[in-house]
């Protein structure tokens, strides 16, 4: 059996300091120990996919990350692991439990996943092993995992069987002292509005940024429009992993909180992973700007309608705890709003109604995802304190 503190200590010695995930009872002693160890960072994830996106952001900002989850949550990770970690070559350590292991007797909802956990990891081309049950074997196992991650640039998974960890005495209490503060909302949308071109909105915000700001663009045409306006090392164009840009941006901010991070999201993408609003509102990152460019459609895939016409992102974000939220439809109002985003009293949300359609010709980043990532990581490493 393993002692949670001993395992965490071995991880610390190997430099793993950023933890996130969704709990599983098989991991209870270890997760509780991580949460209560204040020299490492544990971020509560709304789902396992967002845990991956936050770990990716933290990795970009220079942290070594561990994602903790139940095997039932593996499905929630498949999209970012295939379309984000794989093309950008971003590793993390995954601790995944084995509910439903053949022969142990478990609840019916775990039966199938218990049979296919290792197969699923192999299908995802994620090297894996069982976490050793003897602490003496943990350092070597971690070294092997690290070598794999270095060589392949993909996650490495440790499968965790029932009863692997000894009981851990937890003192955790839910903290009700944190105020449930509802943010301020500014601006309104008119019924007969004429939405501004999306590229104009991106341009106005980009023009107001400083060279040290980190800009994260969601998948699809938003990133391509940003690239068309001008490329630079403080910009990362996310591909695939729809909805993950906000989690990635939050992960970056979490590791280097002085840095202003601006996420450019689409309405479809924001709706896909709305759980992250609750996380951002809970942790209240002060230099975090979440821009939603709302064309009321999935424009990148042909302009099909989203459900955003009846979704008020500012009310949702404010209710989750974003500090200041704006509804913007006029370019003049956008110009007035952008200076407010530098006041370090975020998180901020900018819900901008933009016209459907994109600029023509629309360029594509002429760098590979790995080149964009390496350049962006270099930028973050050399601009940590501003
Ligand atoms: C998980 C996932 N589902 C579907 C897609 C296909 N897809 C790529 S971009 C896109 C539309 C994104 O819509 P939105 O965020 O509103 O941005 P817009 O295209 O309107 O700029 C879709 C559906 C994807 N990349 N990933």
Kindly report, residue by residue over 251-291, the tens digit of the pLDDT: 999 999 999 999 999 999 999 999 999 999 999 999 999 99
Cα dihedral sign, 364-230-299-357: negative
Distance 240 CA to ligand 1 centre (A): 8
| Section 141-157 average pLDDT | 98
Q: Is the CB of 222 under 6 A from ligand 1?
A: yes
Residue 324 has pLDDT above 80, yes or no: yes
What pLDDT score does 251 carry? 98
Q: Is the CB of 253 under 6 A from ligand 1?
A: no
What pLDDT score does 212 carry? 96
- Give the closest residue (by CA) to ligand 1 atom 3: 242
Residue 385 has pLDDT above 90, yes or no: no
Ligand 1 closest atom vs CA 306? 16
- Give the closest residue (by CA) to ligand 1 atom 16: 268
- The DSSP-derived string for 289-354 is EEEEEE-SEEGGGT-EE-SGGG--HHHHHHHHT-SEEEEE--HHHHHHHGGGGGSS---EEEEEEB
Residue 346 has pLDDT above 80, yes or no: yes
Q: Is the CB of 221 under 6 A from ligand 1?
A: yes
Domains 4-160 and 184-382 share a fold: yes
H or E stretch covering 373: helix 369-382
| pLDDT tens per residue across span 167-188 | 999 988 888 887 788 999 999 9
Residue 315 has pLDDT above 80, yes or no: yes
Indicate the class that CATH gives domain 184-382.
alpha beta
CATH of 4-160, one of 3.40.50.970, 3.40.250.10, 3.40.50.2300, 3.40.920.10: 3.40.50.970
What pLDDT score does 263 carry? 98
Q: Which residues pair with 324 in a beta bridge?
A: 184, 348
- Give the closest residue (by CA) to ligand 1 atom 17: 266
Q: Is the CB of 219 under 6 A from ligand 1?
A: yes
Q: Which residues pair with 20 in a beta bridge?
A: 43, 67
| pLDDT, averaged across the chain | 97
H or E stretch covering 208: helix 198-208
The predicted model scores a pTM of 0.97
Contacts of 137 (CB under 8 A, 6+ apart): none
Domain boundaries, the chain: 4-160, 184-382
Ligand 1 closest atom vs CA 269? 15
Ligand 1 closest atom vs CA 198? 21
């Amino acid at each position: 059996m393993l002692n949670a503190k001993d395992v965490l200590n071995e991880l610390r010695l190997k430099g793993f300091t950023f933890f996130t995930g969704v709990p599983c009872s098989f991991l209870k002693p270890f997760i509780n120990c991580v949460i209560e160890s204040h020299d490492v960072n544990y971020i509560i994830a709304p789902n396992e996919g967002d845990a991956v996106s936050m770990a990716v952001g933290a990795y970009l900002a220079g942290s070594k990350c561990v994602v903790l989850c139940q095997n039932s949550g593996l499905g929630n990770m498949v999209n970012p692991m295939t379309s984000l970690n794989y093309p950008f070559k971003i590793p993390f350590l995954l601790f995944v439990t084995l509910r439903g292991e053949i022969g142990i007797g478990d609840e019916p909802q775990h039966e199938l996943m218990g049979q296919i956990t290792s197969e699923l990891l192999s299908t995802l081309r994620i090297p894996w092993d069982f976490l050793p049950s003897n602490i003496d074997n943990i350092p070597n196992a971690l070294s092997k995992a690290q070598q794999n991650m270095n060589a392949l640039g993909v996650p490495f998974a440790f499968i965790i069987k029932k009863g692997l960890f000894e009981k851990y005495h937890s003192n955790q209490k839910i903290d009700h002292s944190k105020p449930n503060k509802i943010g301020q909302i500014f601006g309104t949308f008119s019924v007969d509005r004429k939405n501004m071109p999306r590229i104009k909105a991106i341009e106005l915000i980009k023009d107001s940024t400083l060279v040290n700001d980190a800009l994260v663009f969601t998948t699809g045409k938003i990133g391509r429009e940003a690239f068309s306006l001008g490329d630079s090392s403080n910009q990362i164009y996310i591909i695939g992993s729809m909805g993950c840009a906000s989690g990635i941006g939050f992960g970056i901010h979490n590791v280097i909180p002085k840095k202003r991070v601006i996420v450019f999201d689409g309405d479809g993408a924001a709706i896909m992973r709305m759980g992250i609003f609750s996380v951002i509102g809970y942790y209240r990152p002060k230099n975090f700007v979440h821009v939603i460019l709302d064309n009321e459609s999935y424009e990148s895939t042909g302009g099909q309608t989203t459900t955003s016409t009846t979704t008020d992102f500012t009310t949702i974000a404010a209710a989750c705890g974003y500090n200041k939220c704006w509804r913007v439809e006029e370019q003049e109002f956008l110009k007035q709003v952008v200076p407010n985003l530098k006041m370090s009293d975020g998180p901020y949300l900018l819900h901008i109604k933009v016209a459907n359609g994109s600029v023509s010709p629309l360029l594509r980043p002429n760098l590979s995802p790995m080149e964009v990532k390496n350049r962006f990581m270099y930028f973050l490493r050399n601009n940590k304190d501003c």
